[in-house]
Structure 1
Amino acid sequence: MRASLVGTAVTLAAGALLTAAMTTASASPPDATAPKADLPRPVLVDCLWHRDVRPADFILACGDGNSRLLGLHWSQWGPNAATAVGVNAVNDCKPYCAAGTFHSYRVTVRLDRPQPWKKDPDVQHYTRMILTYQGARPDGFQQVVTYPLWD
């Protein structure tokens, strides 16, 4: 009987110590060295005003679709910038766009300059896209082309 009482007392004491330790730990202020919550990642707004993160494809020429980014592989999507590699498929529009041929050009894509989105000011969206052609490029294009992105 005495052994049973001692065992019960030890169990109750251990439970009380565990409860006290957990209560103290949960009531203490957050550790200053603990990682902070991630900032919301900016989005890329497309032609139809849809927001996306790390899209595989993106239409650059919203009116006719004659320039688009395909096969995008994102290496970074952060609070200040995003970077991908892919292909820019561009219609040569020869002899006219409906009869033209699409040609593919390897590009590096960089998004930056996040700003609040007018449609939803709580959402940050990238406002600039920079394409860097890695070799061949469409006629009349510079090696680096900068596009403002719609709001």
Structure 2
Amino acid sequence: MNTPGARRNSGAVWKRAGAATLLCLAAAFATASVPASATGPAQPVQPQRPVVVVDCSGEPQVRPDDYVLACGDGNNRLVDLKWNHWGAQTATARGIDMVNDCEPNCAGGTFHSYPVEVTLSRPEAWDARPDTHRFTTIRLVYPHSVPTPMPHDVTYKIAF
């Protein structure tokens, strides 16, 4: 039926529908035009550098296969290191400590092998590379025999 009253009502319906559409468009536009800074600062995702252990040459190492403990003469060296953990606070490995008995002297001495458990810890900022942290202590635990005169459990500060 096409009566004047029906036409008036259909016009009102179209006006309400148009107003609702305009409101939705305005809301969408307002949301889309909010500056990114209004939602909080964006945090860039930066890969974290692993903590390193510094070797005798002053070079950073991550999970080294071997590590010289006696930098002056090389008479004490960790070899065959198998790292089972390398984290932000500690790193742990098992390996062999090769120690020269220096009998009758270090040049004529014999290297002996001792199974050892190694823990690196106490990371600190590295002055030489400010964006890098380095482990500053090394703990050696000998589960079996021990190099003379070492205790079964010893911790050293890594000085370089």
Question: Matches of residues 50-129 of structure 1 in structure 2 within 5 Å?
Answer: 50-129=59-138
38, 50, 53: which one pairs with 1:44? 53
- Cα deviation, 1:109-142, whole Å, max 9, x if unaligned, reads 0000000111111100000000000100111100
Gaps of 5+ in 2: 1-31, 40-44
Match of 1:134 among 131, 139, 143: 143
Partners of 1:128 and 1:78 lie apart in 2 by 14
Contact 1:45 1:150 in 2 (8 A): no
Name the structure 2 match of 1:8: none
Give aligned-pair identity as a percent: 45
By how many angstroms is 1:38 displaced? 5.7
Runs of 4+ in 1 over 2 A off after TM superposition: 36-40
TM-score scaled by length of structure 2: 0.71
Cα displacement (A) at 1:82: 0.1
RMSD over equivalenced CA pairs, Å: 1.8
In structure 1, the gaps of 5 or more residues are: 1-23, 30-35
1:1-16 aligned within 5 A: none
Change (3 A) 1:90 1:40: same
Question: Does the 8 A contact of 1:85 with 1:109 survive in 2?
Answer: yes
Summarize deviations over 1:12-32 as a string: whole Å, max 9, x none. xxxxxxxxxxxx9xx9x8xxx
The amino acid across from 1:60 in the alignment is L
- Aligned partner letter, 1:53: V
What one-letter code is carried by the residue in structure 2 that aligns with 1:86? G
**Secondary structure of 2:107's aligned partner:** helix
Matched, 1:147 2:156: yes
**Contact map agreement 1:40 1:79 (CA 8 A) in 2:** no
Contact map agreement 1:115 1:125 (CA 8 A) in 2: yes
User: How far off is 1:150 after superposition?
Assistant: 2.1
Higher Rg: 2
Q: Using structure 1 for the length normalisation, give the TM-score.
A: 0.75
Q: Quick one: which amino acid aligns to residue 120 of structure 1?
A: R
Deviation at 1:39, TM superposition (A): 3.4
Equivalent residue, structure 2, for 1:21: none
The CA distance in 2 between the partners of 1:40 and 1:88, in whole Å, is 28
